[in-house]
Structure formats: C-alpha cells, structure tokens
Amino acid sequence: MFTYPRRVAVGLAVVQAYVLTWISMVLVCVLGYVLTASSPMLGDVTWQDAARLAGSLWLLAFGTPIVAGGAQVSLAPLILTAVIFIATVKFLRSARIDDWQDVLIAGGTGVVTAGLIGTASFSFILWALIAGGVLAVLAAQLARTEILENCYIDYLRRGWQRVWPLAAALAGLALVLTLVAFFAGFDRISAIQAAYLTNSTGTVFMTLAQLLFLPAAGAWALAYASGAGFTVGAGSVFSALGGQGAPIPAIPILGALPDPTTRLPWLVAIVVALGVSGGVWVWFRFRARLREPDTWVVLAVGLAEVLVAVSVLGALSSGGIGPGRLEAVGVRAPVFTGLIFLEVGLPFLGVPALIETTRWWLARRAERKQATTPDAGAAGEQVPAGPESAAELGQVGASEVSPTAPTAPLAYSAMSAPSAASAASAPSAVSASSPAGVASAPSAPGTASADHPASAVSPAEGEEQA
C-alpha cells in the first residue's frame, strides 16, 4: 500500500473527484449511444463523438459553453455541477484540509485537471481553467477540518442559522411550482417527445439529460412567481404579472412552460406571505434578543447570504440553448434578486421590527398611564373616611389645644371683655386654621366659656389650673 505526503494527497483528491465524474459521464453517453445506435436521428455519429460530448457536458457543468455548427449552448446542468462539487468535498475531507496552503494546492490541481479534460474534449478551455479552480477552492474551504475563527465568518455562520428556514421555504416553493408545471404540461411534453421517434431506452436517456437542468427550471419557476419573469428566446417573457409569447424550440421539457398571456398575481402574494411568515418566525424565535443591535446585524447578514444565493442561482440558470434568438434564455439576475429583496427580504426584517416597535409603544403608554394613577389615589386617601375619623381628629385637637392655651398670657391681657363675650356666645365656632375637633376645646380647664369670661381669669390662675 502506497502512502503519500498529505499535500500530495490533497491534490490527488481533486484529481479523483474530477476524473471519476468525467469518466462516469463518458460511460453514460457511450452507453446511450450503443443502446440507440439504430435510431435514424443519430445519423453519422460515432461513439468517439459520444465520448467527446460527455466531456463537453462535464465542462458545461462549469459554465464552459458547447459550440457546434454555429450554435452555442451555455446553460449549465446544475445537477451535474452539484454532483462534482459534492464528490470533491468528500475526497478532500478524506485528505484533510488544514491550512491555506492545502486550499491553494486544491485550487491549482483543479485548474490543471479541468484544463486537461477540456483539451481532450476539444472545448474552450479558458473558462474551464477558471471554473475548475474556483470550484476546487470552494470545496476545499467546505472540507476544512477546523472552522476558521474569525468575526466575519462567525457572522456568516450565525446569519445562516437564522435564515435557513427562509431559504428552505423559497426552495420548496420553487420545487412545488416546477412539479405543478410538469403535471399541467405533461400532454405537451409527451407530444414533443413522441416527435423524436425514439424507443424507450432513448426516451429514458433523453429524460435524464433534461433532468440535469432541473435547478434552472426551479429558478425560472421562482422568478415567474415573483414577477421578475424569465425568457426562452428573445422576444418571449413568462411572468405571473403577464408576458409575451414567441416560438420556442421543440425540447420536451419546454412543454411545461405556462401560457405567457395568463396573469396569476396571487403567486406574488404567496411569495410575500413567505417573507411575512419568516418575519413572524424570527420574532417568535428571537424576541428576547431583538432589543440587541447585534441580533439585527446577524439577521441582515443572513438575509444578504440568501440574496447572494438567489443572484448566483439566477446567473447560473441563464445562458443559451441554440443559435439566434435562443442565445438569450433564463432570468435577469439583478431584477430577480431585487424583487426577492422587496417581496421577501423587507417583510423578513420589517415584521419583527414592527412588532417590537408596537410593543415598545404600548409599554411606554402603559408607563405614562401608571405614572398619573398614584397621584389620584393618594389624594383620595387624604379625605376623612367617616364620623369615627372625625371623632379621632377631635380628640387629637383637644389634646393639642389644652396644654398650649395657658402658654400665651399676652393674649389674655390683650383680650377685651366684648371679645370674650363674643367668644362665649359661639362656643362651637371653629377657626379656619383649626381642625374640626377643636370645637370641644371649651370643656378643657383654663379655657374661656360663657360662664367664665376671659377677663375674670388671670394668667396666674391659668398656670395654677394647668
């Protein structure tokens, strides 16, 4: 058993993933040629042509266009791209990626391997070199044994943890719309397929080849529902808000296209409802931390990740499928991304912000109302409750007046007889500054009454009585 240095093992991992997927495509295409060799549609095609076609399809997964007879096909089979990427990640994990040198080795190996396959397939190799290196670098980053400790990467990771349900909901909607379109247009798909006069084996291989473009169909379906729409040839537009028809090529999968003149605005409402539902979920899940600015930063980063994914998917789902007007097929990525942001992104962030703002306003309103309630309550407590309270106040007033009355002899000397008589004539009078209980003060010793005028009492006698 041979053992290699770890750096060499990293390069070999990329070579294994690329070469094995390429050979698998060659075997499938050659097998399809053998099983359908009797079909008059093949003409003078040989098995070598089938092998080169396999290499061209493999490179098409990287975005390298196929040019033949003046026609150009640049729409990528994203299912094959995903298979190559997953295989590369698996092999690189077995080789163990530890640092940036390993990542660079993987990227360089991917460039060389994709270039060699492009040369063997007689394809345009410049784009193959770029795409092969980029895919290997991304796979190596995902295959790292240790997650990089960085504040930016931490924000990306936390942001994705917050928004992955939203991304899953958008993917689910795209899948449902695609399946509905296939079932609705099954008759047209069958009619186009029958026109090719293929046997059952040829039909199976042709169907598998079209399924490689299923992610592109999903992106078109989501663009259709959002109102951004998509085109299948110059002059044709398919959108839920209305479109324009034009002749389309006789490809079975295109039989699932909807009527371009049909308007389905309720599909746009469904897309908006996904954003609103995502916002409600965010509030319910993270309402305890929505007052922290860091939470909103993480949500914004996660939403940006979703928008980048939508933009990349829109770009990869666009290209050409033939000459002339068929060179413009797919969605307009900027318009698609912008509408997803308006219909999904804004409700996703706006709904929890609106709920938190409403809760804050209601809390402040309750605090202001509570701040005014205790004053009224305190004023109500100061009012005497009944006759028992009045009697108690009277007793307190009497105890306060009797000891203090003789302490002011000058008041008695200055007082005249008429004033004493007037005081005696109104024993129950109460001054404005005395409480109601002071009316019982005449019964205390030493105070003036009707039978004992104030002038008959000397200050000395008042002191002896005290």
Predicted local distance difference test score (pLDDT) of residue 451: 41
Q: What integer best gives the mean pLDDT of the chain?
A: 77
Q: Please check the confidence at residue 304 and state whether its pLDDT lies above 50.
A: yes
Q: Averaged over 439-449, what is the pLDDT?
A: 39
Q: Averaged over 51-72, what is the pLDDT?
A: 83
Predicted local distance difference test score (pLDDT) of residue 426: 38
Q: Averaged over 108-129, what is the pLDDT?
A: 83
More confident residue, 415 or 337: 337
Predicted local distance difference test score (pLDDT) of residue 39: 64
**Lowest mean pLDDT segment, chosen from 24-33, 117-126, 176-185:** 117-126
**Lowest mean pLDDT segment, chosen from 234-248, 263-277, 431-445:** 431-445
Predicted local distance difference test score (pLDDT) of residue 34: 80
Q: How does pLDDT run across 365-402, given as a tens digit for each residue? A: 888 888 887 554 444 444 444 444 444 444 444 444 44
Share of the chain above pLDDT 70, in %: 75
Predicted local distance difference test score (pLDDT) of residue 42: 64
| Strand pairing report for 329-330 and 231-232 | antiparallel
Confidence (pTM): 0.73
Q: Please check the confidence at residue 185 and state whether its pLDDT lies above 70.
A: yes
Predicted local distance difference test score (pLDDT) of residue 422: 37
Predicted local distance difference test score (pLDDT) of residue 374: 58
Predicted local distance difference test score (pLDDT) of residue 147: 64
User: Helices 100-120 & 125-142, crossing angle to 10 degrees?
Assistant: 150
Predicted local distance difference test score (pLDDT) of residue 416: 37
Q: Averaged over 214-224, what is the pLDDT?
A: 93
